[in-house]
């Protein structure tokens, strides 16, 4: 009797091929392309992400690429912060200038051989609290004048470099009053007058006077403060407006 193997073998071959195809679809897919069900890769388990157990290798390329990019940017930012110049925190006293700035913001000062320090009369206050004053503006200057009360003075502190020698004092003013003259003085806090300059006649222009006649010229900030007194007058009112005073100095 003859056995007919042909159809049986064909049937077994078809079954084996089907089983192989099913195994390929249902088994591990390492090294193979994405499945039609999950084109972007198999869904990531949120619990694994929260637990920190998700391997970097199984993350989508878009995620791993973004993490690498941000890591590089964080490193670059840290490097830039490490080399950043700190904000300048130091200061130099009057009569000196900043020579060097350290990485931590500190400064190295260098004293100047000479200079000028000025003070604006508009910032000064009346010696008596009952004296009324107002800001005055004229072509070429802004100052302060007296509006009420007995004739008084405006007082303003002035910062001079310690150890310097005062070489001159100047006064800038507006005086259009024929009857009243004004003046300004450089005072030491022990009530000593160091220098003074006054107005001369009446004019519609801003003018300036100066002197090199200075008493007790050496500045000693450890013992004294220094002030400028501006003379004002309620009678002259806005016709007498102190504008500014300046002190020239040099190092000994």
The first and second tokens of residue 5, run together, are 């193997």
Tell whether 125 and 166 lie within a shared domain: yes
Establish if 102 belongs to a structural domain: no
Look at the block and give the residue holding tokens 């403060």: 225
Tell whether 246 and 160 lie within a shared domain: yes
* Residue ranges, the chain, pLDDT below 70: 1-65, 67-68, 81-86
Tell whether 79 and 126 lie within a shared domain: no
Tell whether 59 and 118 lie within a shared domain: no
Tell whether 144 and 186 lie within a shared domain: yes
Establish if 160 belongs to a structural domain: yes
Segments forming the whole domain that contains residue 50: 45-84
- pLDDT score recorded for residue 2: 46
Tell whether 168 and 243 lie within a shared domain: yes
pLDDT digits over 172-213, tens only?
999 999 999 999 999 999 999 999 999 989 999 999 999 999
Boundary residue ending a domain (33, 63, 84): 84
pLDDT digits over 33-63, tens only?
555 665 555 566 666 555 555 555 556 666 6
Decide if 132 contacts 146 (C-beta within 8 A).
yes
Establish if 97 belongs to a structural domain: no
Tell whether 174 and 242 lie within a shared domain: yes
- pLDDT score recorded for residue 45: 62
- pLDDT score recorded for residue 3: 46
CATH number at residue 153: 2.60.120.260
Q: Could you please report the per-residue DSSP string of 83-125?
A: TPPPPP-----TTEEEEEE-TTS-EEEEE-SEEEEEEEGGG-E
Establish if 16 belongs to a structural domain: no
Tell whether 239 and 152 lie within a shared domain: yes
Q: Sign (positive/negative) of CA torsion 94, 96, 97, 101?
A: negative
- pLDDT score recorded for residue 202: 96
Establish if 32 belongs to a structural domain: no
Tell whether 189 and 79 lie within a shared domain: no
- pLDDT score recorded for residue 8: 46
Question: How many structural domains are present in the chain?
Answer: 2
Tell whether 66 and 166 lie within a shared domain: no
State the Cα–Cα distance between residues 142 and 154, nearest whole angstrom.
14
Tell whether 122 and 171 lie within a shared domain: yes
Establish if 100 belongs to a structural domain: no
Establish if 145 belongs to a structural domain: yes
Decide if 176 contacts 205 (C-beta within 8 A).
no
Establish if 207 belongs to a structural domain: yes
Tell whether 152 and 216 lie within a shared domain: yes
């Amino acid at each position: 009797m003859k056995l007919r193997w042909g159809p049986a073998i064909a049937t077994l071959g078809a079954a084996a091929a089907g089983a192989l195809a099913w195994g390929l679809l249902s088994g591990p897919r390492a090294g193979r392309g994405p499945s039609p069900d999950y084109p972007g890769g198999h869904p990531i388990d949120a619990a694994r992400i929260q637990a920190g157990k998700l391997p970097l290798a199984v993350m989508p390329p878009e995620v791993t690429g973004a993490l690498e990019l941000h890591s590089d940017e964080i490193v670059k930012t840290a490097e830039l912060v490490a080399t950043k110049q700190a904000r300048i925190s130091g200061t130099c006293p009057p009569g000196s200038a900043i020579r060097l700035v350290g990485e931590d913001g500190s400064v190295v000062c260098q004293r100047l051989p000479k200079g000028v320090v000025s003070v604006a009369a508009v910032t000064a206050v009346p010696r008596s609290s009952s004296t009324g004053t107002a800001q005055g503006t004229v072509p070429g200057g802004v100052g302060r004048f007296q509006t009420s009360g007995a004739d008084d003075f405006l007082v303003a502190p002035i910062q001079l470099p310690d150890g310097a020698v005062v070489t001159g004092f100047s006064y800038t003013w507006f005086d259009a009053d024929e009857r009243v003259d004004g003046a300004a003085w450089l005072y030491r806090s022990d009530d000593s007058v160091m220098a003074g300059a006054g107005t001369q006649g009446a004019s519609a222009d801003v003018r300036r006077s100066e002197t090199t006649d200075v008493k007790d010229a050496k500045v000693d900030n450890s013992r004294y403060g220094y002030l400028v007194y501006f003379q004002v007058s309620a009678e002259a009112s806005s016709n007498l407006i102190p504008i500014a005073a300046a002190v020239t100095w040099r190092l000994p």
